[in-house]
Amino acid sequence: MKAFLSELRGAVLGTLVLALVTCGLYPLAVWAIAQAAFPDQANGSLIVDTDGTVRGSRLIGQGFTGAGYFHPRPSAAGAYGYDAANSGGSNLGPTSQKLHDALRDRVAAYRIENGLNEADRVPADAVTASGSGLDPHISPRNAALQASRVARHRGMSVEQVTALIQQHTTQPGFGVLGEPGVHVLELNLALDGKGRRMNDER
Amino acid sequence: MNASGWLQLALYVGALALVTQPLGRYLCQVLDARGRTGLDPVLKPLERLTYRIMGVTPEREHDWKQYAAALLLFSLVSCVFTYALLRLQHLLPLNPQGLGPVSGHLAFNTAVSFTTNTNWQSYGGEGTMSQLSQMVALTLHHFTSAAVGIGVAAALVRGIARSSARTLGNFWCDLVRTTYYLLLPLCLVFAVFLVSQGMIQNFRPYTRARLVEPVRTLVEARNDRGEIVPDADGTPMMEERVVEEQVIIQGPMASQVAIKMLGTNGGGYANANAAHPFENPTPLSNFLQMLSIFAIGSGLTGYLGRMTGNPAHGWSVWAAMMVLFVAGVLLCWWGEARGNPMHQGLGIVADDGNLEGKEVRFGLFNSALFATITTAASCGAVNAMHDSFTALGGLVPLFNMELGEVLIGGVGAGLYGMLVFVILAVFIAGLMVGRTPEYLGKKIQAFEVRMAMLALLVLTLSILGFTAWAAVSPWGLAGLNNAGPHGLSEILYAYSSATANNGSAFGGLNANTPWYNVTLGLAMLLGRYLMILPILALAGSLVAKRSSPPGAGTFPVAGGTFVLLLLGTVLLLGALNFLPVLALGPVVEHFLNAQGQRF
C-alpha cells in the first residue's frame, strides 16, 4: 500500500510538473523567441492594406470567381469553400459517384471559362479540391491556361500577365523539394495593383 | 514517377541514415540515469527538482511489474487530467473563441487517444478545442506518451542487454529524462524553425480578414436555431449569401506541431493537419517534418546496437525496416502518379496523377512519401487526405498500420514492436536448424514466444473484431462518407489506426458519434496497453536470463540472412492476418475502379 501511494504521488505530481514545463514554459519560450525573431510569420503572415484592414494571409488561399482574376483550386473547406476556420478536403474516394460528377462539371466549366476545346485536357489541380481546402497555389500550367482570359478582362497584354505569373511562382525549395506553384492571392493582388479592373461580368 | 521524386527519396533516406547514429549515441546518455549530456548545466537542476517534487529516487530501479504498474498509474492519472480539462474548457481561461465543453464520449475518446500516443481526432481542432485545451490538455500527452513509449523500448533493450538481473530501469526516471533531455531541446529548436517557415505561434483570437473578392455563394438555409430548412421534397433550401470575410485561425501552433512530429503523435492543431498551410507552410518544412517523424525511432535502432554491443544488429534491424518502407513508398507513389483512369477519361491531364486531397506545393511524391512515413511510424499526421488516395495508394498506409507500425515505427513503440518480430524470426530460425533459439546470448523459450504472439494477436483481434462489428451495425454504416468497398476501407482504416495507435484517418468517416468514439477508444487502449504489458513481461523474463557467449551454432542477428528472415516474418504474419480483409476493401476497389464502376 505504501509503495502504491508513493507511485500515485509520482503520477499526480509528475503530471502537474510535466504539464507546467511542457505546456507552460516550453510554449512560452517558443512564443517569446518567435515573436522576437519572426513576428510576421508567428502572427499569420497577414496581408494588411494601407488603411490597416487585414485582407488575408500570404499562406492561405481565398476564393475568386470573377473573370478578371485567376481562379484557385476548388475547395472543400466549409460550406462555401476557402473557409479558413474549417480546413479540410472532400474525402471522396476514387470510386465515388459524387466526386466523378463534380469533376465532370468542373472540367466542362473550366473549358468554357478559358476558351478550351472539347479535346483539350484540363490540369488536375484546376478541378480537384486540395487536402486543406486552403491551398494558396495552382500549377504553372493551370495559371498559363487562365492568362489570356484574365488579360482580356483587364485590358492587359498576355505578356504582361505572364510576367506577373512568373513573379509569383514559387520554385521548389533548393531546386528539388516539392513542386512549383503559382500563388493565386498574391498574383491577383498584384493584378489589382497594376491594371485597372474591368467589369467582372457579374 | 519523375526524377525529382527519386532524388527527394534518396535525400530523405540519406538524411535519416545520417541522424541515426548521433541520436543513438545521445539516447544512450538520456536513457541512463547517470548519463551525461551537454545540457546538464541547464537541465540537471530542473531534473533534480522534479524528482524531489515527485518523491522519486532515481537510483531505485523497477522490476517489470513495478515498471508496468508505475506506467499504468501515470497513464491513468494523466488521462483523467485531460478528460477533466476538456469537459471544463468553457470555464477555463485561454478560450477566446468562447467554445463550449467537449461532449462526454468525445472527451473520453480524445483523452484516451492522446494518452495512448494515437491522436485520433474525431473532431476538427479549430472549432472544438480552446487554446488551453490544445496547449495543455493535448500537448502534455504529446510529450509524455512519446516518453512512455521510449521508456518501454529502453526497458526491453535493457532486458536483452543485462545478464542475470532483475530490474529494467526506473519508469519515472525514463519519463522525466526523455522529456527533458531529448524531446524538449529538439522541439524548441524545431518549433522556432517552423515559425521561420510561416507557422503561427501566438495567443491572439482568430483574425477576421476582408476578402479581396467577396464570394457570392449558395448555402443551405438555416433557421434561428441553426437547423437546415428542408423544402417540400425534403432537400435543403438554398439561399444566396455574399461572403466578405475569412476567419484566419491563430494560436500556439508551432510549439504543438514540433512535438506532434518528433513524438510521432500526429494530432494536428487544425482539422486539415499538416496539409493546412499554417501547419506545413513550405516544402522545406514538409521535408523536416517528415524527417522528424522518423528521427527518434531511427535513432533507437542505433541505441539498440550500442546497448547490446552489436551495432551491426542495430543496422540490420534498420535495414529490414527501410526495405519494407521504401517498397511501400514506391507502391503508394506509383498508385498516385498513375492516377484514376476514370477521372482521366473526363479530360483531366493524365500525367498530373491523382491530386484530389493533395496540395500543389507538395505534389504527388511528397504526399505519397508523407503518407507512407506517417503510417510506418505511429504518427498519423497527414499532409494529404488518405481517403481520396487511389485504391492502391491508400492500401499502403492501411497495410503499414496493420503490420503493427514496425517500419521505424512510433517512438519506442516501433522498436519494441519490431523486437517482437525479431524474437519470432529467431525462434523460427531455431526451429529450422533444430536448436534452442538464442537472441544475443539469451535463450528464447516458450514464455518469450507466448508473450510475443500475445502482442501480435491483440493487434489482429482488435482490428478485425471491431471492423467486423462496425461493418454489420447500423451505427457503423451511418458514419460512412463513401459507399462500396471504399466504405469498408474507411471502417477498416479507423480501427487499424486506433489499434495501432496511429491516428490518421480516411477522414470522410464521421466518427464523432458515441458508438464510434467509445469503440475506437477501446481499440486504442487495447492496442497500447495489451501490447506494452506482454512486452514488459518479456523484458522481465529476458533480463533474468544469463547471457551466454555466441557459439558456432548461434544464428547471427546481423547481415543479409537475418534481414531476409526478419522481412519474411513481418510480411508473412502481417499478410496472413490481413490479406482477406484487404482483398474486400482496397484490392477489389482497384479492379472496380479500372472497370469504371462507381458508388
pLDDT tens digit sequence for A73-84: 999 998 889 999
In B376-415, the residues whose Cβ lies within 8 Å of chain A are: 382-385, 387-391, 394
Please check whether residue B256 touches A, CB under 8 A.
Answer: yes
Q: Which candidate from A8, A69, A131 shows the least CB-CB separation from B358?
A: A131
pLDDT of residue A198: 41
Q: Which candidate from B197, B202, B388 shows the least CB-CB separation from A89?
A: B388
Average pLDDT over residues A190-196: 73
pLDDT tens digit sequence for A15-42: 999 999 999 999 999 999 999 999 999 9
pLDDT tens digit sequence for B220-235: 777 777 777 777 777 7
Please check whether residue A32 touches B, CB under 8 A.
Answer: no
Evaluate if residue A202 carries a pLDDT over 60. no
Q: Which candidate from A14, A84, A94 shows the least CB-CB separation from B340?
A: A94
Rounded to whole angstroms, how far apart are CA atoms B119 and A35?
Answer: 28
Q: Which candidate from A79, A181, A189 shows the least CB-CB separation from B220?
A: A79
Q: Domain map of chain A by residue range? A: 2-42, 46-194
The list of chain B residues with pLDDT below 50 reads none
pLDDT of residue A194: 63
Tell me the CA distances in angstroms from B263 to B258, B260, B506, one per residue in order. Answer: 8, 6, 22
Mean pLDDT of all residues belonging to chain A: 92
3-state secondary structure of B62: strand
Q: Where are any strands of DSSP class E within A39-191?
A: 46-48, 54-57, 137-138, 169-170, 181-183
Asked whether the beta carbons of residue A87 and residue B481 sit closer than 8 angstroms, the reply is: no
pLDDT band at residue A197, thresholds of 50, 70 and 90?
Answer: very low
pLDDT band at residue A173, thresholds of 50, 70 and 90?
Answer: confident
Please check whether residue A150 touches B, CB under 8 A.
Answer: no
Q: Are B265 and B141 in contact (CB under 8 A)?
A: yes
Q: Where are any strands of DSSP class E within B222-377?
A: 238-248
**Min distance B26 CA to chain A CA atoms (Å):** 21
The CA-based diameter of chain A, rounded to the nearest angstrom, is 84
Q: Domain map of chain B by residue range? A: 207-248, 411-595
Asked whether the beta carbons of residue A176 and residue B281 sit closer than 8 angstroms, the reply is: no
Asked whether the beta carbons of residue B55 and residue A10 sit closer than 8 angstroms, the reply is: yes
Of B457, B464, B473, the C-alpha closest to B585 is: B464
Q: Which residues of A touch B395 (CB under 8 A)?
A: none
| ipTM (interface predicted TM) | 0.93
Strands A46-48 and A54-57: antiparallel
pLDDT of residue A193: 84
Residue B169 bridge partners (DSSP): B62
- For the beta carbon of residue A44, count every other beta carbon within 10 angstroms: 28
A vs B, Cβ pairs < 8 A, gives: 419
pLDDT of residue A107: 96
Average pLDDT over residues A102-125: 95
- For the beta carbon of residue A25, count every other beta carbon within 10 angstroms: 12
Q: Which residues of B touch A171 (CB under 8 A)?
A: none
Instruction: Give the burial class of B419: count Cβ atoms within 10 A of its Cβ; 0-12 exposed, 13-18 middle, 19 or more buried.
Output: buried
Tell me the HSE value of B352 on the side-chain side, using a 13 A CA sphere: 24
Q: What angle do CA B524, B511, B477 make, to 5 degrees?
A: 110
Rounded to whole angstroms, how far apart are CA atoms B300 and B175?
Answer: 16
Q: How far apart are the first and last CA of chain A?
A: 77
Please check whether residue B156 touches A, CB under 8 A.
Answer: no
- For the beta carbon of residue B346, count every other beta carbon within 10 angstroms: 18
Range list of H helices, B479-584: 485-499, 514-543, 560-582
**What does the CA dihedral B410, B412, B413, B414 come to, rounded to 10 degrees?**
60
